[in-house]
Amino acid sequence: MIETAVASLVLLACAPALARWLRVAQREQYYGGAVVRFTARWWSSTPFDLTLGAIAIAGALAALLVPLAALASAVVVAVAPVGLSVRGRTSSLIWTRRMKVLGVASIAIDAIFVAGAAAVAIALPAPTVLPAAAALIALAQPLVVELALLATSPLERRRSDGFVAQASARLRQTDPTIVAITGSYGKTTTKLYVRHLLGTSRRVLASPASFNNTGGLARTVNEQLVPGTEVFVAEMGAYGPGEIAELCRWIPPDIAVITAIGPVHLERMRTLDTVLGAKSEILVPAKVAVLNVDAYGLSDVADRAETAGKRVIRCSATDPTAQVRASLEGGGRAHDEQELVVCVAGREIARVAGSQAHPGNVACAVGVAVALDAPLDEVATQLGSLPVAEHRGRLATTQKGVTVIDDTYNANPAGAAAALRLLARAAPDGRRVLVTPGMIELGPLQHEENARFARAAATEVATDLVIVSRTNRAALLEGARGGAAQVRVVARREQAVEWVRATLGAGDAVLYENDLPDHYP
């Protein structure tokens, strides 16, 4: 029967489509709803993809009358959306244990859908239901992945609970002072600063890289926490309310740090007040709160924490009354050298020439040292050699004499503005190139913030702006309009790198600001 043959061919298109959306799920850390959001983002990213999507839907509907029309849907689903590859260029699909489980669950859901369609086709009887249903199933692979995530979540939770129980027991046995750090940004850098400042006086373990969720923190404790560890520094991230509270149930902090509140993860949290509430969960079990009172809402949070009987260490880059203040002085002109000035309780403890450290992060790290009664003379000495987090404002010079600023792990408005200032200082008399795909996860503020960023770059700092990919292209072009910078648009970062290498020379500088993996359009 032709209907069965067509349906079988159409269902073959489910394989590349499923792999494509499984990869997105993996890159988005298996959060429910992410695959559907990316589906909408990809199919609406270009008029061509919109047209292909319409053809696929029309083919599925038309198959009720003309079974062969379903083949059009199959072709579209197998190759589109254009640019979202099955294997991935910068973010390949990795067949981990969890991915295998998710893949099997997705195939099982597909089988249930196919069986249901076959039963309907037989019962009616209406054989054309088969190719039409097959086309719709192929189109629905993002939804299939979401259903598989939902179905496997209890299994993954039980498995995670086992690792968490093991980590919790190890924490109780080792009994280190726990320093938990959260914030919209600055978490990783502050964590590195804390480890560095305490390194001469305490035995410190800090969670590596961006291991800031349940799995990463449990793995850190289970594999790296050893007897004799005096301080455990845990970075805690959150995509929504309740996540940090859950982490604090088994990693109860003695000292809680909030570095910043800003428009990051607004795609999920929607408002800054929701972000503030989610981050403030870290304070509940803590005896000491170290807060950057320059950030949105944290001055009021500090007052409430103090009223609740907590010890509060207010940190700031601007407020001279804060217990810890860190500021960058000088640098008013491009050739001027900046100095990092750090004061504790109104007394200057260090002045570091040529520092590029972020003052707010420094202040919070020093605040932790103060909370732990670390010797201030040792802290002052350590401030002269603060580490730079990987891919966050790191400078290098190529053989051609080009200064390269790697800020590819930075994706927030405050960090982007700081990186632009660094670019201006890196090549005051040369060519200054900004390469960026813009900033993401800013929710309703994303277009506005990216336009503002491009405007500042094109009118004040950069001689050239290279816009990568489609995600924020419209906003960046809008912001750059009217600026002095020459604007180029490329599809992939590799093309931008190739142009930079061929174009820049001694005395020039390039800033790579943020880097989107290729599961973004």
The tens digit of pLDDT for each residue in 374-429 reads: 999 999 999 988 988 777 878 899 999 999 999 988 878 888 998 999 999 899 99
Q: Assess whether 371 and 400 both reside in one domain.
A: no
Cβ neighbors of 318 (< 8 A, separation 6 or more) are 294, 325, 327
Q: Assess whether 67 and 186 both reside in one domain.
A: no
Helix (H) / strand (E) element for 179: namely strand 177-182
Domain presence at residue 232 = yes
Q: Which domain holds residue 447?
A: 394-513
Number of domains in the chain: 3
The sheet with strand 347-353 has its strands ordered as 204-206, 231-235, 177-182, 255-258, 288-292, 311-316, 324-329, 339-344, 347-353
> What band does 329 get if pLDDT is binned at 50, 70 and 90?
confident
> What band does 160 get if pLDDT is binned at 50, 70 and 90?
very high
> What band does 334 get if pLDDT is binned at 50, 70 and 90?
very low
Q: 315 pLDDT exceeds 80? A: yes
Q: 312 pLDDT exceeds 90? A: yes
Reduced to 3 states, what is the DSSP secondary structure of residue 344?
strand
Domain presence at residue 518 = no
Of the three residues 385, 407, 440, the one that is the final residue of a domain is 385
Q: Assess whether 344 and 443 both reside in one domain.
A: no
Q: What does pLDDT average to over the chain?
A: 92
Environment class of residue 181 by beta-carbon count within 10 Å: exposed (0-12), middle (13-18) or buried (19+)?
Answer: buried
pLDDT of residue 306: 95
Mean of the pLDDT values across residues 63-81? 94
Q: Assess whether 427 and 505 both reside in one domain.
A: yes
Of the three residues 343, 366, 385, the one that is the final residue of a domain is 385
Q: 457 pLDDT exceeds 50? A: yes
> What band does 76 get if pLDDT is binned at 50, 70 and 90?
very high
Q: Assess whether 265 and 318 both reside in one domain.
A: yes
Domain presence at residue 165 = no
pLDDT of residue 409: 85
Of the three residues 333, 357, 385, the one that is the final residue of a domain is 385
What is the C-alpha radius of gyration for the chain, rounded to an integer number of angstroms?
26
Q: Assess whether 126 and 188 both reside in one domain.
A: no
3: amino acid identity, one letter: E
> What band does 144 get if pLDDT is binned at 50, 70 and 90?
very high
Q: 55 pLDDT exceeds 50? A: yes
DSSP 230: -
Q: In percent, how much of the chain has pLDDT > 90?
A: 77
Q: Provide the CATH number for the domain around residue 472.
A: 3.90.190.20
* CA separation for the pair 277, 269 (Å, rounded): 10
pLDDT of residue 336: 56
Q: Assess whether 13 and 118 both reside in one domain.
A: yes
Q: Which pair of tokens denotes residue 303? A: 């007052």
Q: In percent, how much of the chain has pLDDT > 70?
A: 99
* CA separation for the pair 497, 354 (Å, rounded): 28
Helix (H) / strand (E) element for 226: namely none
* CA separation for the pair 241, 276 (Å, rounded): 9
Q: Assess whether 286 and 316 both reside in one domain.
A: yes
Name the percent of the chain in helix, strand, coil, to the closest 5. Answer: 50, 15, 35
Q: What is the pTM of this model?
A: 0.86
pLDDT of residue 349: 92
Mean of the pLDDT values across residues 73-84? 93
Q: Assess whether 381 and 400 both reside in one domain.
A: no
Reduced to 3 states, what is the DSSP secondary structure of residue 466?
strand
Q: Assess whether 376 and 404 both reside in one domain.
A: no
Reduced to 3 states, what is the DSSP secondary structure of residue 273?
helix
Q: Assess whether 357 and 239 both reside in one domain.
A: yes
